[in-house]
Structure 1
Amino acid sequence: MKKAILYLLFLVAFATNASAQDCGTAFLGTKTLYKAPVVKYTPVPKGYEPVFINHVGRHGARHLTKDVKAAFIYSVLLKADSAGMLTEKGELLKQMILNLQKVEKGNTKSISAEGREELQSIGSRMYSNYAQVFAGKPKLNVTITKEIRTKQSADAFLSGLKTKLKDSVQIVEANDDVNLRFYDESPAYTAYEKKGDWDKYKAIIAKAEHINEINKTIVSRLFKAEYLKTLDNMEADKIINDIWGFATIVYSVQGEAKQLGIEPKELDFTSLFTCDELKALGRTDNVEDFLVKGPGAKADGLQVIIAAPLLANFITTTDDFIKTRTYNANLRFAHAETISPFAALLGIEDADKVSSDINQFDRAWQASKVIPLSSNIQWIFYKKKGSANYLVKILLNEKEARITGLKNVSPYYKWADMRRFYIAKLVKLNYKLGDDAAEFLKNVK
């Protein structure tokens, strides 16, 4: 309740200051704050109880990943300011950036107070919804990546989970960049990310949204005419990208700002944009995520099939539970670049639809719904006493999900059917996945 009141006051303060609330928050995309779902789950089939959870989640709301002073806009503003070339809005931007620097000092790459609360709440709800999984002396396998924000996210999640757990819980923690940062493990994807055909599709949206003109218009609000002559299109684009990054991160660091006595209006970067500009820039930002992290314009794109190692890991860890009962839950903490390809590869509806007409991409896929901050995918396994069969329910962001191509009348799938379905998918992709996948398939058949 306290958090809700604080957030409401924050939003009201923003609304009195300019465009932020008038424009909504749809433009935030992957920087959208996680919202606890208001859902009514489908009743569990009679006699079945939850026994195991396989989970992967994105880190919580975070601070910037680079120091404010490292941004291109920072040096440009100081240079223009010393030359007396800032407009009134330029002066306002400079002060906002200095305020943000205070908030971010010592916090870069870390999750924020908002992020910790997001993860704690997800952990707490996991226990409330599936308490039977954690009965007795549960043992949890926790894996993270090399980034500190995934360790912090795991700790926050576990703190929420452990508020209702007994001290007898055992936690085994390890790094697993191979399965959780699979995008870094693929040279082909690294090349695609740097220079792939996705660039041409993004250019179509940028042209449709008149991004070059928007960049020039916004920059002209910040710098006097004489200084504008020294900036080319690429520099204007860098400036707007930096301001955009600041504008979208502010929602995640409201707690830290308040603690420093910095008012919302003193960090309202969105007041430098019109609502139409926020929408256009957000759409251009989101289409890149759709093409580089999401289902993209073509089925079975490289940016999706690289998630095969994580799918293989979900299958093998489930098999291990069924055979040995070693762990009650596998809890993984990673990144947006992990969750989105995995959701698409799984065939989760609303997360797997390609769009051959790139102008319609946001009808097929929305970053704010698939990979908001703290986004997560959960496989919840159920078993009936005396039966050898398992049912599994897949959740995307704690909402029941249906799988494209896997027929079922309810969200509870037979594990044998689901396992067969995903192994067949891996077999189909095997020619693209190389020796590691071939070894996996040989071992799991």
Structure 2
Amino acid sequence: MQKRTAALSLTLAVSALLPAALPAQATAGSSGSYATKTPYAPQQNMRSYQHAPKGFVPVFTENVSRHGSRAASDSEDGDLILALWEKARSEGQLTRDGERFGGETKSLLAAMDAIGYGQLSGRGVREIQDTAARLEKRLPGLFERIVENSEQINVVNSGKDRAVDSGNLFAEALAENDPALAPLITPARTDADLLYFHKSAGGAEYRDYVENDERLATTLDTITNQTASHTAARDVLKKIFKPAFVERIAAGEFESIATEVEAAQAVYALYSIAPAMADEGDWNMKRYIAPRDARWFAYLSDAEDFYEKGPGFEDSDITYRMANVLLDDFFTKIDAKRNGTSDAGAELRFTHAEEIIPLAALMGLPGSTKAVSEAEPYTYADNPWRGESVASMATNIQWDLFRKGNRYLVRMLYNEKQTAFKKGCEPVAKGSYFYDVDELKQCLGRTAP
């Protein structure tokens, strides 16, 4: 009885909060509707960066980057919706737009199959190469120093192809822009414990939470299965199938599809991956999903990521605690540089959304500061967390280390935008984006006050 009461309370809370969320997003046009599949864009012009305090020069840089835009992980969504499409076609149950849908979907799937499911697309390649070029332009003095002192440029990846390829492309772009860097780039190494921690030994407790936590399952089921989801789903499907066929989907007639929401989510999955595949073809998946409905399904995708990888429930840190291994590594590399035990000028890491999202929550980066209670769930109306800004394709977090004598300062860039560290971390001056290393270690819990 208590479980049913809790579920009912959650349903009422979501219903009360969610309808107000969508109109606020309407002015964004088609933006804000691709969630973590959003292609990458730098968030600041490099000419507008704050200068380092007088006398400080860059001596080291390190980052962690999500891989670039890619094909879908597999063909499951396309196969699922195409099976329905074939059935509807055989019965004359397609709309005029629906008649186009099968061909466009098959073409998109063929393009993804050609480059390899889960592999970088042409757009993803350019995202990584362009980010590397801008890094060099931002810190010309650092790379001159690296060449002059024959310092190493280290590349580390998760071991997954798209992260391996992203790291190699990044390094190659650095060397192409300055051939003197080529011999200084060390062979890429794989560290799954560091850059695929959600699937490593350190993520065992986390995996149990995702697979078995009843509160998580109840919350996500309630959010996904509310009336607004079913309404949006029917709107999407009616662009492809005639109303009678949509009613049959909703009634559960087809074994491959549990609900009309599941069918519409498959359409949304194709819609959201299409921009990442823009170099491989001209996909007009927008015709099959209205902007309002696309934003709704982006919300459902964001809700899952928020609870499974992001700030999550306010009484638990299970979703981001394991990211400490990555934050620790940032400080370890800085300490080695300060102590003179490292000859590296750059440490470049390449990983996945499953690592970027919890790291952002752990660090309290913008948009990742607000967890929720069980009674007041995550909504767009009252929580700033958005997959498109927290972990778009090729999202990156970069720390630059500056030195003057024996003093070291750090500047952080988040998607190439100078970004303040979380509340409680004091910069060297009011309004500054530069922080003393020891101050950062204290405020981020790496040393005692």
Query: Structure 1 residues 282, 163: CA separation in 2 closer, same or farther (over 3 Å shift)?
Result: same
The answer to whether structure 1 residue 142 and structure 2 residue 155 are counterparts is yes
CA contact (8 A) 1:52 1:381 kept: yes
Q: How does 1:407-426 map to 2 (within 5 A)?
A: 407-408=426-427, 409=430, 410-424=432-446
- Partners of 1:361 and 1:312 lie apart in 2 by 34
The 1:207/1:74 distance shift into structure 2, 3 A limit, reads closer
What displacement does 1:279 show?
A: 1.9
Structure-1 residue corresponding to 2:176: 163
Change (3 A) 1:221 1:69: closer
Conservation of the 8 A alpha-carbon contact between 2:323 and 2:358: yes
> Counterpart amino acid of 1:374?
A
Shift of 1:49: 0.6
Q: 1:62 to 1:360 in 2, by over 3 A?
A: closer
Tell me the SS of whatever aligns to 1:253: helix
Moved more, 54-63 or 73-82: 73-82
Match of 1:50 in 2: 58
- In 2, distance between residues paired with 1:239 and 1:375? 29
Counting only pairs closer than 5 Å after superposition, residues 334-349 of structure 1 correspond to structure 2 as 334-349=351-366
Superposed CA RMSD in Å reads 2.6
1:84-124, CA deviations, whole angstroms, 9 ceiling, x for partnerless residues? 44333332211111221232232221111111111111111
Residue among 234, 258, 261 paired with 1:234:
258
Aligned to 2:110: 102
1:406 corresponds to: 425
User: Corresponding residue for 1:211?
Assistant: 229
Aligned to 1:274: 290
* Amino acid across the alignment from 1:336: A
* Closer, same or farther: CA 139–335 of 1 in aligned 2, 3 Å: same
Q: Percent identity?
A: 24
CA distance in 1, matches of 2:170, 2:54: 30
Q: What secondary structure sits across from 2:73 in the alignment?
A: coil
One-letter amino acid matched to 1:377 = I
Match of 1:296 among 309, 312, 336: 312
Between Structure 1 and Structure 2, how many residues are aligned?
398
Instruction: Answer yes or no: is the 8 Å Cα contact 1:142–1:330 preserved in 2.
Output: yes
> In structure 1, what residue type is equivalent to 2:366?
E
Which moves more between the two structures, 169-178 or 43-52? 169-178
Distance 1:344 1:222 in 2: 39
Which residue pairs with 2:396 in the alignment? 376
**What is the alpha-carbon distance in structure 2 between the residues aligned to residue 361 and residue 390 of structure 1?**
41
- State the partner residue of 2:130: 121
Q: Deviations over 1:122-165 (max 9, x none)?
A: 11111111123323223111111121111111122223322332
TM-score (norm 1): 0.82
Cα offsets for 1:366-402 (capped at 9, x unmatched): 2212211110011110001xx2221011111111122
Gaps of 5+ in 1: 1-19, 258-263, 428-444
Could you tell me how far 1:56 is from its partner in structure 2?
0.3
Question: Could you tell me whether the CA contact under 8 Å between 2:265 and 2:297 is conserved in 1?
Answer: no
Deviation at 1:287, TM superposition (A): 1.7
The 3 A distance-change label for structure 1 pair 68 and 88 is farther
Q: Which residue of 2 aligns with 1:431?
A: none
Name the SS for the 1:359 alignment partner.
coil
Indicate if the aligned counterparts of 1:122 and 1:160 stay in contact, CA closer than 8 A: no
The Cα of 1:322 is off from its aligned counterpart by 2.5
3-state SS of the aligned residue for 1:63?
coil
Q: Deviations over 1:15-40 (max 9, x none)?
A: xxxxx999322111111121123341
Return the alpha-carbon distance in structure 2 between the equivalents of residues 226 and 366 of structure 1: 34
Amino acid at match of 1:272: Y
Report the TM-score when normalising by structure 2. Answer: 0.81
What's the secondary structure of 1:106's corresponding residue? helix
Name which of structure 1's ranges 223-232 and 46-55 shifts more when overlaid on structure 2: 223-232
- The DSSP-based 3-state class of the residue aligned with 1:234 is coil
> Does structure 1 conserve the Cα–Cα contact (< 8 Å) formed by 2:58 and 2:139?
yes
Contact kept? 2:77, 2:269, Cα under 8 Å = no
Counterpart code for 1:176 = D
Q: 1:365 maps to which residue?
A: 385
1:334 to 1:88, Cα distance in 2 relative to 1, 3 A: same
Output the amino acid matched with 2:313.
A
SS at match of 1:382: strand
Whole-angstrom distance in 1 between the partners of 2:31 and 2:193? 34
Paired letter, 1:133: L
Counterparts of 2:343 and 2:312 in 1: how far apart (Å)?
38
More displaced stretch, 203-212 vs 96-105: 203-212
Contact (CA 8 Å) 1:140, 1:329: kept in 2 or not? yes
- Of the three residues 181, 199, 209, the one matched with 1:184 is 199
CA shift in 2, pair 1:301/1:115, >3 Å: same
Give distance in 2, aligned partners of 1:381 and 1:393: 7
Unaligned runs of 5+ in 2: 1-25
Letter in structure 1 aligned against 2:162 = R
Equivalent in the alignment of 1:433: none
Q: CA offsets, 1:186-219, max 9 Å, x none?
A: 1221122234333444445446671023223433
What is aligned with 2:18? none
Change in 2 beyond 3 A, CA 1:202/1:67: closer
Q: Is 1:25 aligned with 2:31?
A: yes
Q: Output the CA distance in 2 between the equivalents of 1:362 and 1:175.
A: 39
Distance 1:226 1:325, change over 3 A: closer
Distance 2:169 2:42 in 1: 16
Q: Which residue in the other structure is 2:10 paired with?
A: none
Instruction: Indicate if the aligned counterparts of 1:377 and 1:397 stay in contact, CA closer than 8 A.
Output: yes
User: How far apart in 2 are the matches of 1:150 and 1:373?
Assistant: 11
For residue 363 of structure 1, give the secondary structure of its aligned residue in structure 2: coil
Structure 1 CA distance, aligned partners of 2:230 and 2:384? 26
Matched, 1:251 2:275: yes
